[in-house]
Chain A
Amino acid sequence: MVYFNSLTFWCGVFFSYLFINLKVPFSKTFSFGIINFICLSVLFDIKLALACLGCVSLFWCFLDVIQDQKKSQFFFKLYSLLCIFFLVGLFLLHKSYLDNPTFFNIGHYLFDRYEPIQPVFMLMSTLAFSYIFLRFLDLFRAVMAGNTILDPFSLLGYLVPFYMLASGPVNVYTEYVATNQKKSIKPNFTQLLLCMNLITNGLFLKFVCAEGLRILFYGVNGKLQSGDLFNSAFILIYVFFDFAGYSYVAFGIGKLLDIPTPLNFQSPYISKTVTEFWTRWHVSLGDFVKRNIFIPLQVTMIRKWGITYAYWTNLIALIASFVFVGIWHRLSLKFIIWGIAVGCIVAVEKIIRDQIIKRDKDFFKKFSFGNILGPFYVFCVIVGTLHFAIQDLLGQ
């Protein structure tokens, strides 16, 4: 889904900027929700936009019902579990259709057999799209923790934001809610220039660097290839420019509209360890996994088994988090193995790091060669792990 080269999209951004700065007696998120709904209708189809709004409204009702059940622990837990199962089930159904894995082909099975289910399935697939699924989870967790449930239009603006549809980032629900408490920034030329700078930087990375490299190696109409390590290394570099470029554009548009939009990349290629790499690459996904999977899982295990097993719970939570990331990318055995492998690499790095620090706390400060060797080591490991799963990623 590439629409940064669409005039309609940029007209939508321009009019959104004009409209969001009007003084209206509505909350910021509601104003953005309305603008977002109009943009979705124009960019895609009004029926799809209405259907999305309908689904979001249903989810809003369900969340409201669950919140009301807080006094009854049994029903609260039951409805919460039902909600989680529904969301995860929908996501797996969508993934099974999209990724067509041999061991879980129920998506295609249902889609090909039952014609009436097809339009419903397409809508469900849209809502179960990877980033939207993550936002649903974040919204659910935040509301269960006691945060405000916004109105359906505002929720639509959070769950299906028109400028973050293609590749995220995964914005945070509580930050989105906090927008209503913050003072609006008055439109000024400096702010506008800063946003334009971010957007043009992103477009440069995406359409000049990424596409330029692709054309250089594979020709004007050439597609990315897998097969050898060189291709895998190239894809890693291409994906960075493409994805980072897209993320800068989304970040710039978010700043323009004053809607919280996280920045996704923080110079990942200067990382000295694989652990550090995954804190700098796709930052919003890493933060999502940390607050929704890694920390809750580890804390639950420690509270159940005791602090004696804290080390093991940390390693289990690490591996489980990476397996989730693997499945989220592709529902395939290779990506599950990829998740386990990367989780193990990060766990081994932690064990080695702890042993080194025990002997010499300042070792990493003294070892300046790490600034050169580290990134080289990280690049080799990431290319190696990517090479294993690249065919599944490209669908080849």
Chain B
Amino acid sequence: MRFFGIILKQKRLGVSKMKSEDEAKLIEIFRVLFNMPELELRDELTAREVPTWDSFNHINLIMNIESEFDVRFTTDEIASLQNVGELKVLLNKKLAVLV
């Protein structure tokens, strides 16, 4: 998982930039789920910085993203995510496969 995370970090510079409509959808999911309308999605944002981002909401977040973007994450991928940047990279990768 960390290996996967490390590979993601190396590719982050090219792949973490999302389409604006996808990014908007992602921000909306975060804001509604964590009940923080003013939340800004930085790549470095982690669960520690968001009071309501616990293990339950982490899984909820993933399930909501899967439903919204019609993608599927493996449990390895879910467990390996360290911050929003890595989530974006992973999501971009999944969306690229769909196109």
Q: Which residues of A contact B (CB under 8 A)?
A: 141-142, 145, 147, 172, 174-175, 177-178, 181, 290-291, 294-296, 298-299, 302, 307, 310-311, 314, 318, 350, 353-354, 357-358, 361, 364
Contacts and interface: CB of A to CB of B under 8 A. Distances in A.
Contact of A350 (B54, B60, B78): B54
Given A291-B80, A354-B52, A357-B52, 20 more contacts: A142-B1, A147-B3, A172-B2, A174-B4, A175-B2, A175-B3, A178-B2, A178-B3, A181-B6, A295-B59, A295-B75, A295-B78, A299-B78, A302-B59, A302-B63, A310-B60, A314-B56, A350-B56, A361-B36, A361-B51
Interface string B67-87: 100000011101110000000
Nearest to B62: A299
A134 B61 CA distance: 28
B3 A357 contact: no
Interface of B: 1-4, 6, 35-36, 51-52, 54-56, 59-60, 62-64, 67, 74-76, 78-80
Majority-rule SS of A interface residues? helix
B79 A310 contact: no
The residue among A142, A298, A302, A318 with the most chain B CB atoms within 10 A of its own CB is A298
Contact of B74 (A145, A310, A311, A364): A145
A299 B54 contact: no
Contacts of A311: 56
A357 B78 CA distance: 25
Contacts, number: 66
Contact of B1 (A174, A350, A354): A174
The residue among A290, A295, A302 with the most chain B CB atoms within 10 A of its own CB is A295
Given A145-B74, A145-B76, A299-B75, A307 B51 contact: no
A211 B79 CA distance: 38
Contact of B35 (A145, A178, A299, A361): A361
A141 B4 CA distance: 14
Contacts of B62: 299
Contacts of A357: 51-52
Contacts of A291: 1, 75-76, 79-80
Contacts of A177: 3
Contacts of A307: 60, 63-64, 67
A366 to B, nearest CB: 12
B63 A310 contact: yes
Contacts of B76: 141-142, 145, 291
A48 B54 CA distance: 44
Given A175-B2, A291-B1, A299-B75, A314 B59 contact: yes
24 contacts: A141-B76, A142-B1, A142-B76, A145-B76, A172-B1, A175-B2, A175-B3, A177-B3, A178-B3, A181-B3, A291-B79, A295-B59, A296-B75, A298-B55, A299-B62, A307-B67, A310-B63, A311-B56, A314-B59, A354-B52, A357-B51, A357-B52, A358-B35, A361-B35
A178 B3 CA distance: 6
A291 B1 CA distance: 9
B59 A298 contact: yes
B83 to A, nearest CB: 16
A294 B51 CA distance: 20
Contacts of B64: 307
A353 B56 CA distance: 12
A178 B6 contact: yes
B81 to A, nearest CB: 10
Nearest to B64: A307
Q: Return the 6 tightest CB-CB contacts between A and B, nearest first.
A: A291-B79, A174-B3, A314-B56, A178-B3, A296-B75, A175-B2
